[in-house]
Structure 1
């Protein structure tokens, strides 16, 4: 164990008390909505975090890379949804996981991919479970619920001997809203679109055992999930400033921060220079288009108290620029002397976590321990 004061900087910190509170909040929410919960683990890519999610009641996990699937399967987690469109070059990697006993589900949103999956599966004597991705908000990928392609993809998969596992969607555009009424509308659009796609498959005599939806904002806003069987969400476990601006958490819920040290000043500019640049925070400027722009992050004291008005306003590779938003603080050097240790709350927890080989998990007693995370595809 190491104390916070003994840690080098920059270092990614997870406040385990906040993390556990976030996990319990989401799990209670899912229980109220009456569906299964399959968390998206790309946010942390960290086994101790995922074990805490499963201990709270999560059933299966969602991953964004096959590397994640391999790592978590090796750790004993078998029920895995790979929620990125499958391409032919990754089918051998997926097959190897299934042959080892992993209950891996893959997705497709076009006929070409479905044909490749079916052909590869038949050639290798394997039956892949495939979910069809549905586009419910025009955010990124998927087939619209009423498109003919939905039935075409399903039939190609069935005719090639693959198992049609269901439909899934992700309301990524929910990140673009910041009030309850809009979030409620997008959450209902997500639910209704996925349920309609499932209904069309069933009406055509095709199987659809799973209807899976999810994003952190819609999961925390939806009033009901009639027709849905499972919910997915990821960033809720740590939260971040984008989610604070969306309105589904407060800064007091954000469990991830980056510990940093003041290394210099530009007093005439009102700058303090810290050793957390974009290599520690990431280049993600997700709050830039929102009503409250936090620059590269919100500045806090070493013990986590928010310093209102102070943000990481700029970032080079290893240098961060700390300043007061909207004004020049000429007393910046007096306020933050050389050696002052601070914490920065991130815009995007997934992106900031990805900059670090591991987290320092801060326990309520003030001690920390290292939680590794992993990289790769």
Structure 2
């Protein structure tokens, strides 16, 4: 990811939301890199660790103004995002409570997938004008996220989505600059689009997050191989339903999450693909359904489980969505050989 951004001549602002771990970030987002966060709890923990340039990439809500001010008081260069005139009005009305200047970016809807204002929407200029003329606020620029890239199953479509993402944030930046509101931040990115081929000329930075471990969604899109997935849930065989050819494991949705993000992929991985204890995929075996603490492992062809699934056998489950699975835990067991724990990394939870 770093090489891709360097080749494109843009800065990389990693999103630390997948692992939410200072120790993990030391590998892929070492100080003094700028980072992206999804919660202000992450921002607080990373600020205390010395990170000073932080983008909070979720639309700011009024109930978080006090947390934002606390970060500003710790000399953090914090950028928040908004995407409506209502959000701008509330933020500007409360800006007098801020003790230090706050950077504000406008989120651009680049693909009709979720949040953001369209690059040609007339409210774009109104939002920037409101922010730029409010004391204690600094208009920073624009950011976009191509969430629709998670539906791009080949390189050509990912390239097209990456180009569309860039074009839309650049168009928004141009319209703002033409209206007298130049953008210092022109930010775009998602793991599939940053790794795609597209011109990034004019962007100031790119963002991505799940590449820190990858997952079955990324593998299903062709962004990575199954062997690239660096996160798994270690579980144990606790029983069988022999007439149904089921293997029962002690990892249900509380351990794996309820995310079924590959259900529309060519290969539906259910709640996760099954590996042996060393991490080798057991072909055809997957977690078909889950209860709170029970997972049900089946074979796609209805095969009867062999001695690989004997009672007490340890297995590894590859996550459908790494961010959702990782969120079930307070820490990670770090291994270099899939046999011994070499370190334990705490995780930052909460909001």
> Could you state the TM-score of these two structures normalised by the residue count of structure 2?
0.96
Q: Does 1:295 align with 2:280?
A: no
SS at match of 2:129: helix
Which residues in structure 2 correspond to 1:63-212 (within 5 Å)? Answer: 63-161=37-135, 162-212=137-187
Distance 1:44 1:119 in 2: 35
Cα distance in structure 1, aligned partners of 2:277 and 2:255: 16
- State the Cα distance separating 1:177 from its structure 2 match: 1.5
Task: Please give the alpha-carbon distance, in whole angstroms, between the structure 2 residues aligned to 1:366 and 1:267.
Answer: 29
Do the aligned partners of 1:174 and 1:218 also contact (CA within 8 Å) in 2?
A: yes
Structure 1 residues 44-79: Cα deviation after superposition (integer angstroms, max 9, x where no partner):
111111111123x88211011111101111111111
How far did 1:127 drift?
Answer: 2.2
C-alpha distance in 2 between matches for 1:263 and 1:84: 40
Separation in 2 of the partners of 1:130 and 1:353?
Answer: 30
Cα distance in 2, alignment partners of residues 129 and 335 from structure 1:
55
Deviating above 6 A after TM superposition, structure 1's stretches of 4 or more consecutive aligned residues are: none
**Could you tell me how far apart the structure 1 residues matched to 2:128 and 2:120 are?**
13
Shift of 1:141: 0.6
Q: Distance in 2 between matches of 1:313 and 1:89?
A: 40
1:1-377 aligned within 5 A: 26-55=1-30, 59-161=33-135, 162-325=137-300, 327-330=301-304, 332=305, 334-364=307-337, 366-368=339-341, 369-377=343-351
Aligned partners of 2:338, 2:296: CA distance in 1, in Å?
31
Query: Could you tell me whether the CA contact under 8 Å between 1:265 and 1:333 is conserved in 2?
Result: no
Deviations 1:198-245 (A, max 9, x none): 111111111211100010000110332011110000001100000011
Q: Which structure has the higher relative contact order (CA within 8 Å, separation 6+)?
A: 1
Match of 1:22 in 2: none
- Whether the 8 Å CA contact 2:213–2:322 is kept in 1: the answer is yes
Give 3-state SS (helix, strand or coil) of 1:242's partner.
helix
Contact 1:81 1:105 in 2 (8 A): yes
Q: Which runs of 5+ in 2 are unaligned?
A: none
Using the alignment, how far apart are the partners of 1:80 and 1:222 within structure 2? Answer: 27
When structure 1 is superposed on structure 2, of 344-353 and 71-80 the one drifting more is 71-80
Q: Bigger shift: 340-349 or 118-127?
A: 118-127
Give the paired residue count.
Answer: 349
SS in 1 for 2:142: strand
**Contact 1:267–1:333 (CA under 8 A) maintained in structure 2:** no
Q: Is the 8 A contact 2:278 2:338 kept in 1?
A: no
Q: Quick one: structure 1 residues 124 and 226, their matched pair in 2 at CA, closer, same or farther if it must change by over 3 Å? A: closer
Determine the C-alpha separation between the residues in 2 that align with 1:339 and 1:274: 9
Greater alpha carbon shift after TM alignment, 64-73 vs 110-119: 110-119
Q: Which runs of 5+ in 1 are unaligned?
A: 1-25
